[in-house]
Amino acid sequence: MLAARSIRVRGVVQGVGFRPFVYRLASAHRLTGWVLNGEQGVEIHVEGSEPRLAAFLHELETQPPPAASIAEIEVHPTAPNGFSEFAIRESEKRERPTVRVSPDLPVCEACLTELFDPKDRRFSYPYINCTNCGPRFTVILGLPYDRPNTTMRSWPLDKYCSAEYHDPANRRFHAQPVACPQCGPQFYLEEGSSAVRDSSEAVNRAALLLREGQIVAVKGLGGYHLACDARNASAVLAMRERKYRKEKPFALMVRGLDTAYELADISREAASLMTSVSRPIVLVPAKVELPHVAPDNSELGLMLPYTPLQYLLFAAGAPEVLVMTSANRSSEPIAYEDDNARDSLAGIADAFLIGERPIARRVDDSVTRVGAFGPAILRRARGYAPGAVTTLPVEGPLLAVGPDLK
């Protein structure tokens, strides 16, 4: 007998491939109905036989996409409508959005494979992403999470990307920031009054400048980094002097974990924190001294690359240990708008590696360490924000304060 359920899923369920997941699940169980992104979460109407509905619900709860985090699933019996297929519907817009936005995700293995495959359409494309990876919080301008509400709205999809975007079997089905070199934004390099317009040439040139000991401002997910060769003492000293930063340690980005093991004592817990989906800076005991990087400090702050561009930079021959510090003058917050970065970093950076995709909001790298009771988050930002810290049972008003200036 035909039965139906009305389902609402709350939590981090938008921008993590949840609707495609529901679509595939419903199709696999031969259920009909629809799914949409509501402002209170993902809403689903499914109909079919009771055993199929039960199996669908079980998998919905137990096998959500890796980046999703379900806070609550509400299920109500409802009347069947006699739908003949399962569809992804347009988003609803209501008064007060309560859905949680996903933090930014590091580029996934499948995208990395394509990034370095010369036969792939997105070979060397610094903005490659899919439903399992890529920017979220730093591109979202409003809710619900759909392309017109992201900083990708200026780049209409070409036929190729559009076909992937509309194919439920594709990894990029409804991937909002999807793009390719033919239709999407690019990177370019500015060096004094000259510019390198081609993305690949720009990345190669930036890698060369870094090898030569120059300082390059690199646009990241939530702001600009200032990068230089961490093993080049005069480059690091120049960075300190130009930034007016006397002692505060610089964060380092290492090409891979093997490089991290050369620099510091990396425990199993530290390694798993470094490779986690948040990809934070992890404070670890130093084994070597890198002059001017962390003066009078027994620890180093290490992180792994997390954007396609950072992987491309290392692949293009950038030094395997880079200072990657938030681009700002001392005591100012991280620069994230291109014009502001050009102004405030003139006199610090020798060149600018600029990506065309705007950053919706400033998000710094997170800082963590391995604590006695698990990971301790010292600065909760990229990769964690805007995840909920906790849910507090309070009746009165609650005041939360965050840093505007560091």
Q: How far is the CB of 386 from Zn ion (least distance, A)?
A: 21
Nearest CB to Zn ion, comparing residues 15 and 48:
15
By rule CB under 5 A, what string of x and - marks binding of each residue 133-172 to Zn ion?
x------------------------x-xx-----------
Residue closer to Zn ion by CB (options 164, 191) is 164
| Residues of span 200-259 touching Zn ion by CB under 5 A | none
Nearest distance, CB of residue 182 and Zn ion, angstroms: 5
CA 58 to each of CA 51, 62, 379: distance values in angstroms, whole numbers, following the listed order: 11, 6, 37
Applying CB under 5 A, does 7 fall inside the site for Zn ion?
A: no
| Binding flag, residue 175, Zn ion (CB under 5 A) | no
Residues 79-118 that bind Zn ion (CB under 5 A): 108, 111
The least CB distance from residue 16 to Zn ion, in Å, is 12
Residue 257's nearest CA partner among 247, 244, 267 is 267
Look at residue 166 and give its three-state secondary structure: coil
CA separation, residue 224 to residues 32, 139, 158, 321, 324 (Å): 46, 15, 29, 18, 9
Nearer to Zn ion, 102 or 325 (CB): 102
Q: What are phi and psi for residue 38, nearest 5 degrees?
A: -90, 175
180 binds Zn ion (CB under 5 A): yes
Stretch of 38-46, 181-189, 250-258, 326-334 contacting Zn ion, by CB under 5 A: 181-189
Rounded CA-CA distance 378/273 in Å is 13
Q: Give least dist CB 132 to Zn ion, A.
A: 5
Could you tell me if 277 and 105 are in contact, meaning their C-beta atoms sit under 8 angstroms apart? yes
* Of 279, 127, 151, nearest in space to 203 by CA: 127
Taking CB under 5 A as the criterion, the residue among 130, 253, 323, 360 binding Zn ion is: 130
User: Closer to Zn ion at the Cβ: 34 or 137?
Assistant: 137
Q: Which is nearer to Zn ion, 111 or 260 (CB)?
A: 111
Question: Following DSSP, what letter does each residue of 78-114 receive, concatenated?
Answer: E-----SSEEEPPPP--SS--PEEPPPBPPPHHHHHH
Tokens 């620069």 -> residue: 335
Nearer to Zn ion, 180 or 273 (CB): 180
Q: What is the 3-state secondary structure (H, E, C) of 117-158?
A: CCCCCCCCCCCCCECCEECCCCCECCCCCCHHHECCCCCCCC
| Of 55-63, 76-84, 127-135, 324-332: span binding Zn ion (CB under 5 A) | 127-135
Chain residues in the site for Zn ion (CB under 5 A) = 108, 111, 130, 132-133, 158, 160-161, 180, 182-183
